[in-house]
Chain A
Amino acid sequence: MATTIPLFASFKYADSLTVVGISICTALVCEAISWILIYRTSSYKSLKYSIDKAAKKLETMKTENPSSKLSIKKSKTKKIDRVETSLKESSRDLSLFKFKSGAVVALVLFVVFGLLNSLFEGKVVAKLPFHPITIVKKMSHRGLKGDDPTDCSMAFLYLLCSISIRTNLQKFLGFSPPRGAAGAGGLFPMPDPKTN
């Protein structure tokens, strides 16, 4: 099946550019849908504002009253707990709100992945410059014939595109979740200083 435009026909792995191009378009469409359904709504804006405000307030309160101080008043601790509870509730509401609208985005991604799969099933779209570990190889060699571990399938390339392009696009457009909502998450969860 002809999937490359004549300009890139001389490249053996020109299909990789098609995958990247479709990923970029998909990311733009998904963010446009997210903006229409989520980010422009007053509910989202006010939730984000509450989370940012609560997170900053909590940070200020914890800085002024570090948990190591024995003389910390009970009222201050209660106040900190109240703000923390409010922050957690707002973060939960935000996640729930985004989840409901995110179903449409998930459907778009599913359809695009299905389309790419039908276009590039069994095809080597790129070459890996390293030998992947077993877990990665299950994705990178998905649906491919042969034993060459450096053959790259569409699925792995699409995954890399999705993560890198969508994350940076969201960051650039200012649609990333507020840091207060992310809390101590991420790759390295930070221990709660209150429990130490």
Chain B
Amino acid sequence: MKEGKSSKSNQQEQHEQIYHQNSHLGSFKFAKLFDSEASWDKDQLGDVLHWIRQVVGLLCGLVWGAIPLVGGIWLLLFLAISSGIVYGYYALILKIDEEDFGGHAALLQDGLFASLSLFLLAWILVYSLSSF
């Protein structure tokens, strides 16, 4: 009887784990992206901000490389634009209280390093292939 009970609780824990792992994907709806009334999970918001940064990084890299824009100042401009877009999104569109999510620094750093690398990669590749 005791073995039956413990195997049942193990099964329940496994179900909980699977539900927890899938809960992020299952509960996320794209309409939430522009809904200022929606409540956000820390992980979900972090993921959204990460992917926004990656898209901005890729687009800026492609555009900067195609024009082409040359000089370190354009790197700084990308950082400013990328951070501005992320800040504008969570502060003005989502209207969230940043204190609930670790402050501005925590929100602004999500995906920053990866997007910077992606931006540099796109910028260098497009510039090298299109300008020479």
Contacts and interface: CB of A to CB of B under 8 A. Distances in A.
A57 interface: no
A129 B61 CA distance: 11
B95 to A, nearest CB: 19
B78 to A, nearest CB: 11
Contact of B114 (A126, A152, A164, A179): A164
A49 B17 contact: yes
B94 interface: no
Contacts of A139: none
B117 A171 contact: no
B26 interface: no
Nearest to A10: B129
Nearest to B103: A190
A190 B132 contact: no
A129 B68 contact: yes
Interface string B60-88: 00001100111110110000000000000
A167 B114 contact: yes
Contact of B128 (A16, A52, A131, A179): A16
Contacts, number: 95
**Chain A contact residues (Cβ within 8 angstroms of B): what range?**
20 to 34
A16 B125 contact: yes
A59 interface: yes
Interface in A113-155: 126-131, 152
Contacts of A59: 42
A129 B69 contact: yes
Interface of B: 16-17, 20-21, 42-43, 46-47, 50-51, 54, 64-65, 68-72, 74-75, 102-103, 105-106, 108-109, 112-114, 117-118, 120-121, 123-125, 127-129, 131-132
Interface string A16-48: 110010000000000000000000000001100
Nearest to B50: A171
A164 B121 contact: yes
Given A130-B75, A131-B72, A164 B46 contact: no
B113 A168 contact: no
A174 to B, nearest CB: 8
Interface in A56-73: 59
A126 B124 contact: yes
A142 B69 CA distance: 24
Nearest to B119: A164
Contacts of B113: 163, 167, 187
Given A17-B125, A49-B21, 20 more contacts: A12-B132, A16-B125, A49-B17, A52-B20, A127-B131, A127-B132, A128-B127, A129-B64, A129-B70, A129-B71, A160-B121, A160-B124, A164-B118, A167-B113, A171-B51, A179-B46, A186-B106, A186-B109, A188-B105, A190-B106
